[in-house]
Amino acid sequence: MGIISNNSSEGVTPKLIKLATAIIAVSILFVFCIGNAKVSAADTAAAATTTATTAKTTTTATTETKKLTLAAPKFVAEAKYDSAATHPYKKQTTQLIVRYKSVKNAAKYQLYIKGGKYKKWTKIKTTTALKVKVKGLKRGTTYSFKVRAVNGSVKSAFSKTQKLSTAVMDYDAYGFQAICRIVYHEVGGMAGDFWDKPIVYVSDCVVNRFVAAKYTKKGVWPSYYSRYATVQEMIYYSGNFMSSEGLAYDGATYGNVPKRVKVAAYGALYNKTALNGIKNDGTVYYWCNRPYYQSDSRIAYSFQIPWGYFNVWREYWG
């Protein structure tokens, strides 16, 4: 029996060892598979997160690109009289104020100029402001401006071109009013298109006398009018025009001045055609009326002549 028992034990033990070994191997394989499954799941989750992040970033970039689409700016219209919005008082011969409307999503604006010493389009300012004072300009000169909006590397199309002119003389609000008042007193109160030319040329006359005295030093006017610091002083105090009190007595207050006289005065100050296509005349220095020709109610004016400027009849208006 002992021999049979010993033989039986020796036969069973190897089998148990093999079984245990198999169980251990299966367990190890099971654990390994579970670990790989967890790693695979983690990798899948990470990949999904990366894909989602990339998609989100792409969407955000696309959205931002759409947001940064910039429209072309639009200029604010020129203020032609009764305002220093585009032509700063007492600095009109050398400065202009350029104004434009804001553009959605714009970070800055780039302003370009052409004219005078700027022979081609030149960028003169990059700014966040909606108005720019451009200095160092030439008297009586027309300049062109264009502007575009920018935000980083995104740029809008350029605006339409705006043309602004510097004045032939500096003046303030009271100077402009004085010119309008004397023109109104002489011819501006007359009805009918027949009087548009006299209105233009009398405006030219007043401006040209002051310009000759203060800027060009030509003719006989500088020696007499140069003593007056402003155009209103020349009109009110020189004796060759009328005092403010005399104009008011005759009803020539600024409140009574019609629009066409203001437009003509503006045209004379900026040497640009402003009233009904009538060109300004830089040689007009004098006007006169009936005392010279009693039979004719039209206004005459004189041109520059070789020996100076004088009340010489050259032609009629009309």
User: Which residues fall within 8 angstroms of residue 129, CB to CB, at 6 or more apart?
Assistant: 109
The token pair at 40 is 């695979």
Highest averaged pLDDT of the listed ranges 182-191, 223-232, 253-262, 291-300: 253-262
**Which of the four pLDDT bands, split at 50, 70 and 90, describes residue 311?**
very low
Distance CA 210, CA 139 (A): 14
| DSSP bridge pairs for 148 | 110
- Please state the rounded mean pLDDT for residues 33-37: 47
Residue showing tokens 């089998």: 15
Domain ranges for the chain, please list them. Answer: 70-167, 173-316
**Which of the four pLDDT bands, split at 50, 70 and 90, describes residue 66?**
low
* Percent with pLDDT over 90 in the chain: 59
Residue range 121-179, pLDDT digits in tens: 999 999 999 999 999 999 999 999 999 999 999 999 999 999 999 999 999 999 999 99
If one looks up domain 70-167 in CATH, what number appears?
2.60.40.10
Q: Is the pLDDT of residue 316 over 80?
A: no
Average pLDDT, the chain: 81
Q: Is the pLDDT of residue 249 over 90?
A: yes
Q: Residue 289 has what pLDDT?
A: 56
pTM exceeding the 0.95 threshold for the entire prediction? no
| CA 48 distance to own-chain centroid | 51
Residue range 235-245, pLDDT digits in tens: 999 988 999 99
| DSSP bridge pairs for 110 | 126, 148
- Helix (H, G, I), strand (E, B), or coil: what is residue 147? strand
Contact predicate 170/87, CB 8 Å: no
Q: Residue 134 has what pLDDT?
A: 98
Q: Residue 33 has what pLDDT?
A: 43
- Helix (H, G, I), strand (E, B), or coil: what is residue 181? helix
Q: Residue 231 has what pLDDT?
A: 97
Q: Residue 301 has what pLDDT?
A: 64
Q: Is the pLDDT of residue 39 over 80?
A: no
Residue range 209-236, pLDDT digits in tens: 999 999 998 777 788 899 999 999 999 9
Distance CA 295, CA 104 (A): 65
